[in-house]
Amino acid sequence: MGSPSVDQLTIKIFADGADLKGMKEAAAQPLVKGFTTNPTLMRQAGITDYKQFALEVLKLIPDRPVSFEVFADDFPTMEAQGREIASWGSNVYVKVPVTNTKGEFAGPLMTRLAGAGIKLNVTAIMTNEQVKRVGAALAKDVPAIVSVFAGRIADTGRDPVPLMREAVSLLKDRPQAELLWASPRELLNIFQADEIGCHIITVTGDVIRKLALVGKDLDGYSLETVAMFYRDAQTAAFTIPIGSEQAA
């Protein structure tokens, strides 16, 4: 089995999160080419003022794409929020869900926002039928990100690789649209996404930290693991009575 190399990757790695400290650490890594957030991550991070947080992020990260999501459920309010979010910075991508909570496709909204020159990140996509419809709604000359939640697809027992490979093909007539592999579950997903020609993958802090393991010698890693088990057993002072000790 060949040894993988981070230097050979062509896919762009985006950091996913809403913790300012973690985002600052990620921004210090040249390998990280952009950032994504969402309302769930922001709530988990204790964010209470959406715009204030976003402006702090953009002050910290002025030179790479950053995605902020609308959170209304009706399309007129989504559009108003999207236009406001887009005004916060030239590196901002407006995240728009593929549907609202009623399952209504957000295509007309995407077309209006893209038509106004607003860069979009269309999120929560899980089927290639959705990819087709999103691609048709986007402007050919305006940058956009098409986020397919490959990790959540894998959570259902389906292999996301064939679906993502087809999605790459479906977006070929939209040269400004980049396919994003969202919600990866392990570092291996970065290499899978890269191999099929996916443009971007979002990566959480715990997976970014695993990049240091890429290409690690497996014999040495095995020995380190054995030593870890031994060390922890010694630290815990485990004992197993054997033979006469047990009888006594």
Confidence at 248, pLDDT banded by 50, 70, 90: low
Active site residues: 95
Q: How far apart are CA 88 and CA 54, in angstroms?
A: 8
Contacts of 85 (CB under 8 A, 6+ apart): 54, 68, 70, 92, 94
Assigned domain for 224 exists: no
Q: Domains in the chain: how many in total?
A: 1
Global pTM value: 0.91
Beta bridge partner(s), residue 180 = 147, 200
Assigned domain for 118 exists: yes
Q: H or E element: which one contains 154?
A: helix 150-155
Assigned domain for 3 exists: no
* Structure confidence at residue 201 (pLDDT): 98
* Structure confidence at residue 210 (pLDDT): 86
Share of the chain above pLDDT 70, in %: 97
Q: How far apart are CA 191 and CA 21, in angstroms?
A: 27
104-151, pLDDT tens digit by residue? 999 999 999 999 999 999 999 999 999 999 999 999 999 999 999 999
Assigned domain for 225 exists: no
Assigned domain for 244 exists: no
Contacts of 138 (CB under 8 A, 6+ apart): 110, 111, 114, 120, 122, 144, 146, 174, 176, 177
Assigned domain for 127 exists: yes
Assigned domain for 180 exists: yes
Assigned domain for 46 exists: yes
Q: Give me the CATH number covering residue 146.
A: 3.20.20.70
User: What residue numbers bound the domain in which 71 lies?
Assistant: 8-214
